[in-house]
Amino acid sequence: MRKTKNRKGQMRIIEAILASFIVFFAVAFINTFAVTPSSTTYETSELEKVGHNVLHDLDDQKLLARFVYNGEWENLTAALTVCLPPDVYFNLTVYDLDGNLVNEGKPICYGDPNVFETSSSIASVTYILPGCPRWEKAELLAEYEPRILILQLVRG
């Protein structure tokens, strides 16, 4: 039996396969080095994560509610200053449900206030507290009276 062999097209096939592999590996290689561009709309900034964590940790230890409902603003400022990195400036405002500022005249902040006006990227974190049992004149008050905390953070 005579076998007809046509070897002229084989090199092309090998070339095509090699070319496809090169294209595939090129795409895979580029993907490993691709840096995803950050989007202020869809990506939570690092500062917001830090802010959320700090407020959550203080609340978990039942310190945050105590500071807010007892008006211990200096202690709250000190706690936030200790918990946040030193190069992060913050400004915390406390509101009741009607939008009235609770800590009026008692700023809870750290760093240069001008930074908050000039910086283009300010992280903002919202946190809600439902209430806190506390003693007043030998009577225990355990009322539902929520406070909304807005923590603004910026790198100094």
Partner 1 sequence: MRIVRQRRGQFIIIAALLVAIMMVSVSTIMYSAVTYYRYERWDEYLSIIDNVKIGSQRVVEISLANYTTWNNYNNVTILRNNLQRWVNDTRKAYAGFGINLSFTEDELDHDWNEEESSAAADATFTLDITSAGLTGYQFTTPVLLKVKIIEDEEEPHERYTRWNASDKGKELTISLIVYKEDSIPKKEDSVTNLKKDNFRVSVNGTWLAPENFTVARYSDATYESLIYDIYCSPDTPPDPKTFLVSVAVIDTRGIKVVADVTVTVST
Residues contributing to the site for partner 1 (CB under 8 A): 6, 8-10, 12-13, 16-17, 19-20, 23-24, 27-28, 31, 36, 39, 42-44, 48-49, 52-53, 55-56, 59-60, 62, 65, 97, 125-133, 140, 142-144, 146, 148
We find the least distance from the C-beta atom of residue 17 to partner 1, in angstroms, to be: 6
Which 3-state string (H, E, C) describes 34-72? CCCCCCCCCCCCHHHHHHHHHHHHHHHCCHHHHHHHCCC
User: 55 and 64 in contact (C-beta within 8 Å)?
Assistant: yes
In whole angstroms, how close is the CB of 140 to partner 1 at the nearest point? Answer: 5
Across the chain, where does the E strand assignment appear?
88-95, 108-110, 123-129, 134-136, 139-141, 147-155
Nearer to partner 1, 52 or 155 (CB): 52
- Choose between 99 and 105: whose C-beta lies nearer to partner 1: 99
Task: Work out the burial of residue 84: count CB atoms within 10 Å of its CB; fewer than 13 is exposed, 13-18 middle, 19 or more buried.
Answer: buried
Report in angstroms how near the CB of residue 106 gets to partner 1 at its nearest. Answer: 22
The CB-of-156 to partner 1 minimum distance in angstroms stands at 23
What the block records as the tokens of 95 is 């509101």
Kindly tell me which of 23 and 112 has the beta carbon lying closer to partner 1. Answer: 23
